[in-house]
């Protein structure tokens, strides 16, 4: 065996490349993060090369302008959302078939189809979608902000509209335009939480966090009605607007209520909604008993709970809680994902980092758990917004790690009291 060959073999083993899939080591937890998919620029599954090239010539598709921000997993579909912040985004709601794509850089397929992703086609097409949610009743909850552009370039092409798809038939089950009273001049909604109650699929509410308008919009599936909740806890902490991410220093001082996660249903029959402003290091909580009742939600200032701060480097984008009460949250300052077992008090000593990587996890933008697997998308968003991405480098990644392996050996693994069933401290 030549020494060059041996060296090549060693390099191959060191890179850990298996069928184009790389295994990233992590500094915390027991398990390595698996890089499932990666992209330098996003690409879309046009019916043929000719139409793809034509779209590029016409400026309908500009690969460098596409930034993926949200993910969701349902059966064999991995959904990926791409907001229309810049020109040339052919589809905002897309998926990757997990049957036919085991790794690599797959092209995105518009969901449910190309026609229903037409920008500015109010009522028939989705314009801009951020984070999405698939519920256990096989419905996909999609808020279309109707906007094209970002910041001071934003055009409101269509009204804010909640679309609920039947994932088994790919048909729209419900379309609901937010009322004028639900939003304001600054409204920017990028996150959704869906609350299924004890009453089953019909007993559903959606909570939409208005990051820049500082509100929470509640939608009742049964009543087909929405209302807006306001609270000073939705506002950013003025001392938490400075960020250092991906080698950049920048200020996002206006970012209010952002990530939300819902606890399991407690003995009282309700969940707790945990939420945090983006420019803040603090978590807050409110019972869905309050949010679900339009009257109560308007007059319950003191029902909102303040939880302790996560500590320095505690900025957090998306979060979620699984059915066992385990919360995961993206720690954007640390290129990491954190966990908290909600049977323990919310305090930094009860948090752990389950995954961290200074290249692969620059700006974890969304996080999901599906069938015992933790999924994270990282997208270098601040570099995209505040500077320019290097398109010869990998910019976007979707990574997975089994939940059990991620929390092994951390404070999130088990509570010292064991399962305490229905009496949770935050109720």
Ligand X SMILES: *[C@@H]1O[C@H](CO)[C@@H](O)[C@H](O)[C@H]1NC(C)=O
In the complex, minimum distance from the CB of residue 176 to ligand X, in angstroms, rounded to a whole number: 5
Mark the segment that binds ligand X (CB under 6 A) among 211-219, 262-270, 322-330, 390-398: 390-398
Q: How far is the CB of 58 from ligand X (least distance, A)?
A: 26
Q: Return the number of the residue (178 or 377) whose C-beta is nearest ligand X.
A: 178
SS3 158: coil
Minimum CB distance to ligand X, residue 151 (Å): 6
Q: What CA–CA distance (Å, rounded) separates 355 from 402?
A: 11
Q: Is 3 in the site for ligand X (CB under 6 A)?
A: no
Q: Which of 152, 232, 295, 388 binds ligand X (CB under 6 A)?
A: 152
Closest to ligand X by CB, 176 vs 375, is 176
Only segment of 211-219, 267-275, 347-355, 385-393 that touches ligand X (CB under 6 A): 385-393
Residue 269, Ramachandran bin (φ over 0: left; ψ between -120 and 50: alpha; else beta): left
Neighbour-count burial of 296, counting CB atoms closer than 10 A to its CB (0-12 exposed, 13-18 middle, 19+ buried): middle
Q: Which helix (H) or strand (E) holds 10?
A: helix 3-15
Cα gap 121→144, rounded to integer Å: 11
* Site membership for ligand X, residue 176 (CB under 6 A): yes
- Which one of 14, 393, 418, 421 is in contact with ligand X (CB under 6 A)? 393
Selected from 2, 224, 232, 295, the binder of ligand X by CB under 6 A is 224
Rounded to a whole number of angstroms, the minimum distance from the CB of residue 366 to ligand X is: 24
- Interacting span for ligand X (CB under 6 A) from 100-108, 121-129, 198-206, 387-395: 387-395
- How many CB atoms lie under 10 A from the CB of residue 21? 15
Between 23 and 179, name the residue whose CB sits nearer to ligand X.
179
Is 390 a residue that touches ligand X (CB under 6 A)?
A: yes
Residue closer to ligand X by CB (options 63, 402) is 63
Q: Does 392 bind ligand X (CB under 6 A)?
A: yes
Looking at beta carbons only, is 217 or 406 nearer to ligand X? 217
Cα torsion 359, 361, 365, 368: sign: positive
Encode 34-46: b = buried (16+ Cβ within 10 Å), e = exposed.
Answer: bbbbbbbebbbbb
Left if phi > 0, otherwise alpha if psi is -120 to 50, otherwise beta: which for 363? left
Nearest to 70 by CA among 78, 58, 62: 78
Contacting positions for ligand X (CB under 6 A): 151-152, 174, 176, 224, 390, 392-393
């Amino acid at each position: 065996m030549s020494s060059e060959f041996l060296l090549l073999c060693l390099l191959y083993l060191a890179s850990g490349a298996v069928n184009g899939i790389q295994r990233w080591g992590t500094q915390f937890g027991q398990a390595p993060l698996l890089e499932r998919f990666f992209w330098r620029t996003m690409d879309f599954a046009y019916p043929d090369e000719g139409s793809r090239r034509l779209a590029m010539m016409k400026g309908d598709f500009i690969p460098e302008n596409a930034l993926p921000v949200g993910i969701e997993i349902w059966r064999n579909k991995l959904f990926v959302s791409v907001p229309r912040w810049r020109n040339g985004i052919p589809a905002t709601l897309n998926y990757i078939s997990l049957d036919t794509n085991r790794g690599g850089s797959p092209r995105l397929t518009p969901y449910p189809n190309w026609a229903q992703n037409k920008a500015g086609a109010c009522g028939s097409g989705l314009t801009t979608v951020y984070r999405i949610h698939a519920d256990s009743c096989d419905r996909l909850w999609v808020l279309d902000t109707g906007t094209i552009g970002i910041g001071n370039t934003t055009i409101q092409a269509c009204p804010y509209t909640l679309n609920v798809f039947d994932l088994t038939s790919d048909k729209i089950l419900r379309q609901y335009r937010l009322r004028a009273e639900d939003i304001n001049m600054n409204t920017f909604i990028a996150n959704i939480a869906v609350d299924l109650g004890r009453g089953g699929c019909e007993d559903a509410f959606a909570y939409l966090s208005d990051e820049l308008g500082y509100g929470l919009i509640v939608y009742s599936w049964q009543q087909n009605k929405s209302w807006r909740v306001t609270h000073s806890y939705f506002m950013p902490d003025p001392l938490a607007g400075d960020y250092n991410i991906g080698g950049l220093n920048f200020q996002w001082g206006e970012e209010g209520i952002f990530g939300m996660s819902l606890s399991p249903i407690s003995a009282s029959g309700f969940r707790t909604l945990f939420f945090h402003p983006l420019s803040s290091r603090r978590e807050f909580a409110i019972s869905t008993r309050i949010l679900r009742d339009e009257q109560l939600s308007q007059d319950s200032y003191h029902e909102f709970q303040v939880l302790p701060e996560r500590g320095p480097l505690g900025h957090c984008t998306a979060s979620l809680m699984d059915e066992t009460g385990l919360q995961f949250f993206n720690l954007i300052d640390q290129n990491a994902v954190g966990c908290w077992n909600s049977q323990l008090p919310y305090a930094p000593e009860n948090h752990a980092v389950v995954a961290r990587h200074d290249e692969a996890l620059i700006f974890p933008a969304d996080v999901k758990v599906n069938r015992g697997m933790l999924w994270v998308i990282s997208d270098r968003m601040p570099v995209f917004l505040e500077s320019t991405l290097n398109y010869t480098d990998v910019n976007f990644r979707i990574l997975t790690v089994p939940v059990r392996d991620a929390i092994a050996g951390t404070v999130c693994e088990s509570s010292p009291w064991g399962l305490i069933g229905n009496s949770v401290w935050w109720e």
